């Protein structure tokens, strides 16, 4: 189910061959968080995760939002009436990779708890979301270890420092 992200807000195409639409990835970023969040590091983070796994061409829409909208998405799609850091929505359409939603206030609290910058935390969340779109999961401890390993490879490629202990800290504290 695609997120309600209008196409005209912000879009950048990344292509090895601009003349061949089948080789194009489009990354759309819409910021409805009410905060100024640089889009280039988010785009770089998602691209690094997709490139690392030779992801097919297609479109990824990223919604940068607040806790209220994220809680609504989490309630509507996961039946959990609470905010969260990142949600992903894989696409059924072969031209789409899927959608990622990131809550800036949630990421900010998590960054503070982890003692990293907001930009770094948002980069990790963007990578985390992209890996979910590629089929990675983190429900079991073994799956989480694999995902964190893949996140670190993508983080380094995107210019972020690795974080081998990364976890959704606020979720772990609630568990």
Q: What is the pLDDT of residues 15-43, one digit of tens each?
A: 444 444 445 889 999 999 999 999 999 99
Mean pLDDT of 146-172: 86
Q: Does 171 map to a domain?
A: no
Q: Does 5 map to a domain?
A: no
Reduced to 3 DSSP states, what percent helix, strand and coil does the chain have, rounded to the nearest 5?
45, 20, 35
Distances (CA, A) of 75 to 30, 70, 100, 154: 21, 8, 16, 30
**Residue 168, pLDDT above cutoff 90:** no
Per the structure, the count of domains in the chain is 1
Predicted pLDDT at 139: 87
φ/ψ of residue 101, rounded to 5: -120, 135
- Computed on alpha carbons and rounded to an integer, the radius of gyration of the chain in Å comes to 15
Mean pLDDT of 139-144: 90
Q: Does 173 map to a domain?
A: no
Angle 39-52/141-157 helices, nearest 10 degrees? 120
User: What CATH number has the domain bearing residue 19?
Assistant: 3.40.390.30
**Residue 114, pLDDT above cutoff 50:** yes
Which residues 6+ apart lie within 8 Å of 42 measured at CB? 29, 62, 64, 102, 122, 123, 126
Q: With H, G, I as helix, E, B as strand and everything else as coil, classify residue 23.
A: helix
**Residue 6, pLDDT above cutoff 90:** no
Checking phi first, is residue 27 left (phi over 0); if not, alpha (psi -120 to 50) or beta?
beta
Mean pLDDT comparison of 17-21, 51-55, 171-175, highest-scoring range = 51-55
Q: What is the percent of the chain with per-residue pLDDT over 70, rounded to a whole number?
A: 82
Q: Does 51 map to a domain?
A: yes
Token pair 């994220």 in the structure block, residue: 70
pLDDT band at 51 (very low <50, low <70, confident <90, very high): very high
Structural domain boundaries, residue 123:
11-166
The alpha carbon of 23 is separated from its chain's Cα centroid by a whole number of angstroms, namely 21
Query: Would you say the pTM of this structure is higher than 0.75?
Result: yes
């Amino acid at each position: 189910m695609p997120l309600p992200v209008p196409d005209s807000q912000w879009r950048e195409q990344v292509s090895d061959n601009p003349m061949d639409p089948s080789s194009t990835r489009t990354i759309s970023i819409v910021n409805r968080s009410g905060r100024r969040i640089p889009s280039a590091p988010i785009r770089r983070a998602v691209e690094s995760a997709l490139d690392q796994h030779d992801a097919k061409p297609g479109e990824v829409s990223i919604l940068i939002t607040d806790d209220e909208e994220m809680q609504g998405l989490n309630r509507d799609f996961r039946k959990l009436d609470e905010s969260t850091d990142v949600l992903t929505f894989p696409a059924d359409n072969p031209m789409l990779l899927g959608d990622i939603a990131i809550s800036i206030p949630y990421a900010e609290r998590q960054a503070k708890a982890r003692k990293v910058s907001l930009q770094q935390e948002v980069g990790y969340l963007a990578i985390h979301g992209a890996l979910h779109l590629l089929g990675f999961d983190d429900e079991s401890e073994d799956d989480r270890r694999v995902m964190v390993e893949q996140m670190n490879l993508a983080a380094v490629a995107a210019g972020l420092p690795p974080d081998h202990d990364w976890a959704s800290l606020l979720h772990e504290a609630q568990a």
